[in-house]
Chain A
């Protein structure tokens, strides 16, 4: 009895001793208010005036910097305490300079730039809430390897963040001050998220971009945005890539082409249909509500050939003159026929445009890889080969438009 009691007490003591090292622990505890919550990052090329960089992760001579050229990184950090808790209170969110802190630094690589930044900011940079990474077109055209690698390696960065290419300077996006949200980055983010919901933009989070650009038979693309005068941001097309380099951008309307060819739902683009090319009064506007596409792959003379069948359902939204009678089914048929014809041309143009740059953002190559694996491994096999072959691949597009509803007006 006594021996057992002693043993039990000894065991308790041993357990307590084992636990003591824990008390010296808390290695990772870092309060939320001690973190510098980075909401947005912009990446630009450094210009002449920016090169006053201190040597923080390298020393000239002993630890030479990489010879890649400098990048200028801007970050948007939320200022704790400035953004009120709960809805409504204060209402002082209109001026982002009070809620956010935007800092620009220069570095030889992304990590180097962040190190330089950390040197200047007391709290630890925290990327767990990084929602927007804006890259200037110039940097994107030079290549995204470094950017992709850094953010993929960092475990804090979420795969649902948005990576985007800006026309002009990316840093201007960080200082933009839209009126709708307290935090500009969140406004930008919700702009993009909502455009997915309204069928205006494909799902293209950073994770999806990474997956797409990793694939052998597909290229990545990113939203291409422009900062307007009113401090608002316009999504003005897709920036498409070839491997890691941006090679071109589309017009805003052409995003609809991408969505149509991929059959992404919900649909949400409007189109003008001219029943008679010469008669300006014959124009009507339709709103596409549902898209469906079938891609058929065949081999013609040893070359892949795609037959794409797109089915669009649309509603009539508006007509420009009264003399067009919508209550006549034949007119509606005419509109359908007309829109089909123009759409075919429209789609073919987009494909041609990307073919010219060898950037298969639609993933046609993936279709070959998955449906004709033998052909793929024999003839193509690598990403580079497919980029070349894509240019010579032939397509024919067939569009069927169906107008379902015409609104509350009878004619």
Chain B
């Protein structure tokens, strides 16, 4: 926190207090000393396995490892066996302690991920991260063995962002897998991944991805700056980070997008955005975010443009509906019934005749009970959930009407609104609009249509003042950008969208070959991509 402006290193800047005192200590080569240090630092926690043994029958050694995080088979086969029973070519050779480190590394261990380390703090950190540490009597350096093995679930369909046409893979909790999913789609030399640890105690691994040569370097700098400032003891999900790097904490609108789709991340990287991933979270963050991202889906681009433009418009209508529909209803029923056709108005009056509350109260009650119902449906076990939602909607709605609690039209309005809010692909944006619906209903109850407009103006002014990493939130609509408009309300044909969004200030503006662009030359000589497959970890 205090040393925010210090030159950045790839290792973490924030340090857990308990490890800080070991920062400058080296191990000396005495097993007893190391044992004491580990005892002192970890306090004899019982899931730490301490294995004492003799290397080649001569050198005393201890291997430390958290037994539940370590791959025992690998340790046994690739580490313990060669150490205890020297390989064929070493048999009979007596190895002095000075050479031992090199011999072990170069000739003995059958494992790809082994390194030397003498800093105590680093050793402890590695140990906590699931690696095994081998300390040898008389050796000034310990060996770190990458033995981490943590159970993870398989790659599944993204639960919240399903598509009909498009890839079926979603991120999982493991950062390594997630990175491999990205690199597999984006086999480009320009993809950069920067790693860091955040969380004083949890030391969560955080990866920042961007495209060199496309992403605005200022954005990368700004993100680094914001990540540096985070000093929290635990980062359990990318959502924690989101709340630290967003620009306006008091706004109901999300300024960072999250997704569990690797293809979406790749598309965003190619537009010049940055992706942030946290180990242990299946949701990646994307910055900078503008409002139109919240009603766009991957499918918009995989299906043909005419159809998807229409669907995107429908989604937009649903979004606006879910915000203003109940308040419009209140305003028209209680303030301006002259707007609706006479036959209908007379009939609506009939429907409302037995309801004891004013329309505002009626709508508010129904909205609140709808929110309760929705929340209940999410929390319920899946087997019960389906039954409850049907019971809830049908029975409660019908009962409310026949009990004279609500008019049938109110039930229709609330149902439409609720369904409309489900049509918004981004859950957090839908949440914001759901929340804002309530003040709008109250405004409508006080001032009618006039009140709704005042409320909407306040909301829009707020939206206009929002920025995500310096990018105005309503770009490309305001400030206007002709090229951006092709992908705003409708989705233009891919062949016509030749440029990356200008508001992201990309280094390389064109994304389609053959664009007559002044700055487009640089891209022609793009080197052929490397096709090495990343090793699965």
Contact = CB atoms under 8 A, between A and B. Distances in A.
| Touch test A–B (CB under 8 Å) | yes
Interface of A: 22-23, 25-26, 28-33, 35, 37, 39, 78, 80-86, 126, 128-129, 131, 156, 158, 183, 186
Contacts of B351: 85
Contact of B445 (A26, A37, A86, A183): A26
A32 B337 contact: yes
A33 B346 CA distance: 9
B445 A33 contact: no
B342 A33 contact: no
B353 interface: yes
Nearest to B339: A128
B312 interface: no
B261 interface: no
Interface in B312-359: 333-338, 342-343, 345-355, 358-359
Q: Is the interface of B mostly helix, strand, loop or mixed?
A: helix
B240 interface: no
Contacts of A80: 346, 349-350, 352-353
B348 A32 contact: yes
Given A26-B445, A29-B358, A128 B338 contact: yes
The 4 A-B pairs of least Cβ separation, nearest first, read A128-B338, A81-B353, A80-B349, A80-B353
Contacts of B359: 31-32
Interface residues of B, number: 28
Given A128-B337, A131-B342, A28 B448 contact: yes
Contact of A22 (B335, B350, B446): B446
Contact of B446 (A25, A81, A86, A183): A25
A28 B445 CA distance: 9
B446 A32 contact: no
Q: Is the interface of A mostly helix, strand, loop or mixed?
A: loop
Contacts of A129: 337-338, 342, 345-346
B333 A32 contact: yes
B86 interface: no
B360 interface: yes
Nearest to A27: B446
Nearest to A155: B338
Contacts of A37: 337, 345-346, 349
A130 B360 CA distance: 26
A122 B445 CA distance: 22
Nearest to B409: A85
B347 A85 contact: yes
21 contacts: A25-B447, A29-B358, A30-B335, A31-B359, A32-B337, A33-B350, A33-B352, A39-B342, A80-B353, A82-B350, A85-B348, A85-B350, A85-B409, A86-B347, A128-B345, A129-B337, A129-B342, A156-B338, A158-B338, A183-B346, A186-B343
Contacts of B337: 32, 35, 37, 126, 128-129
Contacts of A83: 346-347, 350
A222 to B, nearest CB: 21
